[in-house]
Chains A and B, each alone.
Chain A
Amino acid sequence: MSTWLRLTSRIHHLQAVAIPSQTLWPRTRSFAQRTQHVSTGVPARSDFFKNLDLHFKAMQDKAAAALPGSDWMPFEVTPGLPPERVDILIVGGGVVGWSIAYWLKRTKPRDALRVLVVEKDPTYSQASTVLSAGGIRQQFSLAENIQLSLASADFLKNINDHLGVLNEDPVDLQFNHSGYLFLASEKGAHIMEANYATQRHAGAKVKLLSPTQLKGMFPWINTDGVALASYGLENEGWFDPWTLLSAFRRKAMSMGVEQSFGEVKGFNHRVHSIESKEFGRLQIRRITHANVQMPNSMEIQPVECTVVVNAAGASSGAVAGMVGIGSDPQAMEGAGTPIPVQPRKRYIYVVHSPHGPGLDTPFLIDYSGVYFRREGLGGNYITGLSPEEVEEPDTTNLDVDHDFFQEKIWPHLAHRVPAFESLKVTSAWAGFYDYNTFDQNGLLGIHPQVRNMYFATGFSGHGLQQSPAIGRAMAELILEGGYQTLDLSALDVKRVLHEEPLLEENIV
Chain B
Amino acid sequence: MAASLLVTWRSCPRTSWSVARRYLSATPASPPSAVTRFLLRLRQQFYDVEQLMTWGATFRNRAVRRKNLFYGFAQQNYGDNIAAAYYILSLKGSFRFAGQTEWFQPDTRGKFSFDFMNFPTSMIEEVDLSGTPINRDGLDNLVSQLQLRRLSLRGCPEVDGWFLTRLHMFSDSLEELDISHCPRITVGALCALQHLRKLHRLNVSGLPSVQNPGLVRILMEEMLPHCIVTGAEYSQGLSLEDTTQTNTTHSSTYPGTQPKEEESGPTSAQRQGQMQ
Chain A residues with CB under 8 Å of chain B are 157, 160-161, 164, 166-170, 172, 174-178, 219-220, 233-235, 237, 354-355, 358-360, 377, 419
CB nearest neighbor in B for A236: B165
- In the complex, whether B191 has a CB less than 8 A from a CB of chain A is yes
Using a CB-CB cutoff of 8 Å, which residues 123-177 of chain B contact chain A?
136, 161-162, 164-166, 168
Q: Is the CB of A354 within 8 A of B256?
A: yes
Complex Cα distance A419/B261, Å? 14
The minimal Cβ–Cβ distance linking A259 to chain B, given in whole angstroms, is 23
Residue interface mask B161-205, A partner, CB < 8 A = 1: 110111010000000000000000011111110110000000000
Q: Assess A359 versus B220: contact at CB under 8 Å? Given A170-B23, A419-B257.
A: yes
Q: Are B195 and A233 in contact (CB-based, < 8 A)? A: yes
Within 8 A of A (CB), among B32-84: 43-44, 50, 53-54, 61
Closest to A377 in B: B215
Q: Are the CB atoms of B188 and A219 closer together than 8 Å?
A: no
Contact: B188 with A355, CB < 8 Å? no
8 new A-B contacts, CB < 8 A, other than A175-B186, A358-B222, are A167-B24, A177-B164, A220-B259, A233-B165, A234-B168, A359-B219, A377-B212, A419-B257
A176 in complex: contacting residue of B24, B188, B216, B260, CB < 8 Å: B188
A-B contact pairs, 9 of them (CB 8 A): A164-B25, A170-B25, A174-B186, A175-B161, A233-B168, A354-B253, A359-B187, A377-B216, A419-B257
Q: Which residues of chain B in 248-264 are interfacial with respect to chain A, using CB atoms and an 8 Å cutoff?
A: 253, 256-257, 259-260, 263
Task: Name the one of A175, A177, A233, A377 contacting B219, with C-beta atoms under 8 angstroms.
Answer: A377
Give the residues in chain B near A167, CB-CB below 8 Å: 1, 24, 43-44
**Which one of B50, B161, B165, B219 lies within 8 Å of A166 (CB-CB)?**
B50
Closest to B189 in A: A177
Among A175, A233, A359, contact of B222 (Cβ-Cβ < 8 Å): A359
B259 touches A219 (CB 8 A): yes
Q: Is B223 an interface residue, CB under 8 A from the partner?
A: yes
A176 to B194, CA, bound (A): 12
CB distance from A112 to the nearest CB of B (A): 19
Query: Which single residue of chain B is at the shortest CB-CB distance from A354?
Result: B253
- Given the complex of chains A and B, what is the CA–CA distance between A234 and B190 in angstroms? 13
Contacts of A164 in B (CB 8 A): 23-25
Which residues of chain B are near A169, meaning CB under 8 Å? 25
A364 to chain B, nearest CB (A): 14
Contact A157 B192 (CB under 8 A): no
A377 to chain B, nearest CB (A): 6
Provide the residues of chain A in CB contact with B162, threshold 8 Å: 157, 177, 235
Q: Which residues of A contact B260 (CB under 8 A)?
A: 219-220
Shortest Cβ distance from residue A166 to the other chain B in the assembled complex, whole angstroms: 6
Which residues of chain A have C-beta atoms less than 8 A from B219's C-beta?
Answer: 358-359, 377
Are B25 and A359 interface neighbours, CB within 8 A? no
Q: What's the least CB distance linking A269 to chain B, in Å? A: 42
The complex places the Cα of A36 from the Cα of B60 at a distance, in Å, of: 63
Q: Which residues of B contact A355 (CB under 8 A)?
A: 253, 256-257
Shortest distance from the beta carbon of A417 to any chain B beta carbon, whole Å: 12
Residue in A220, A234, A359 whose beta carbon sits within 8 Å of that of B166 in the complex: A234
